[in-house]
Structure 1
Amino acid sequence: MSLNELVFLKNEQPVTSSLQVAENFDKDHKHILESIENLTVENSAVKNMFREGTYKNSRGRLYRMFYMTKDGFTLLAMGFTGKKATRFKIQYINAFNKMEEQIKTGGFHVPSTMSEALRLAANQQDQIEQMKPKVLFANAVETSDTSILVGELAKLISQNGVNIGAGRLFEWLRSNGYLIAGNRSDRNMPTQRSMNLKIFEIKERTYSNPDGSVRVTKTPKVTGKGQTYFVNKFLKEI
């Protein structure tokens, strides 16, 4: 379980919910609600540590719940005992501390004015647009049934931010075991590994020579799956 699942921001403040506490400490939510109500009745100052809310069950019905601050959680969890309870208490406290630290250091920034909010939205949109070519390319290639030459693959990789030519790509494919290396007749043909991964295929063409003999040529081509495979592999190295 990650810390981010335990604590979240609500109204610019780190909180957790009575539902999460009940689930993680293996308690009936009804009993958690009763404990919170008892705490707030005993001391009115405690009320600021809890805020009532609602949630929908699987049938769409609304039920009560509470959001609580770090202090509210600490007060509530005092009565939870056992090794498992102690472990979860520590995880919650760490999660609250981490969230508070992120807010202090700018890990979470909440705009305070309309112009700041618009500027933040514009910056986020720019980041999304910058990422689009890579994402759209990968999605398009994955569903493609068209195989391409290695030189064409080099162009696609270059279009996605990694500058590489056909010669260097052939060398890289041989060095990394995707194409056969060495001075052999099958040089630059897909290795068995590539064929098993279905990232390459071999296209054969038959030509008739003037003397009546038949000549067969074999060309390695990158499948749609292979295009996705190699583009993602190179993008990870950026």
Structure 2
Amino acid sequence: MNDLVFIQNDQVLTDSLTIAETFGKEHKNVKRDIEEVISKIGELKNDEEAKRLRINFDTLKFERIEYIDVRNRTQTKYLLNFDAFMLVTMGYTTQRAMLVKVGYINAFNRMKEELQRRQQAFQPKTTAEMLLMYAQQMVETERKLKALEEDNARQNSRIEQLENKIEKRLTEEFEMQLVTPTQIGKMFEPALSGKEVNKLLQKAGLQWRVGGEWVATVEGKKYSSSEPIQLENGKMVYQLKWQRRVKEIIQAEMEVVVK
């Protein structure tokens, strides 16, 4: 009955599929029994009597994992250690169930002895072997640390790239926001009036006067939008609003004027 249990990560375990098969039960019912036990344990952890008796529930291993069945479907099952197995099967009391449990106990004990033999085989017996083991552990630790450092560097690089993209996107969105000539003027030091900004936009070839209103040129339409506004007298007029980035164009025009 050695197939009843197996060694995984230095632990002797069985699983709910094997339990269902050996006890002659449906797997879904065994999983139900396991989940009922897990639920009761969750309640008992907060029980005052359990706290007073200092009961340690950490010795119980119930690990829910996925596996692929014979029909290539993803299913779930539980891994259990000896303590968890005994707790779940405590209610299985038929004569056959008792025989199966004894078989499990024997299998757990044999596999536990096998695990101990494996672990002892790796224990150093001489000073030279001990030094070699420590050296190997140090090399492995250094390898893991280097891998962690490289992974952190990659993560930091990705974060930096993402931050740069976000910053660039926010800057672009900010520069594309539409504002009035008066608001553009306030971006300068000293500030310019809205009239001064309009004149500089005209000199830059971005707008001209048509019928008393400013109208964007073909080039100016790349940077502006004509939006309707209602005056106090109820009259509807259109006002040109400009992207913030025209500040650079105006700045360049001002430098030309100064020269």
User: Higher helix share goes to which structure?
Assistant: 2
Which protein shows a greater Rg? 2
TM-score, normalised relative to structure 2:
0.40
TM-score, normalised relative to structure 1:
0.43
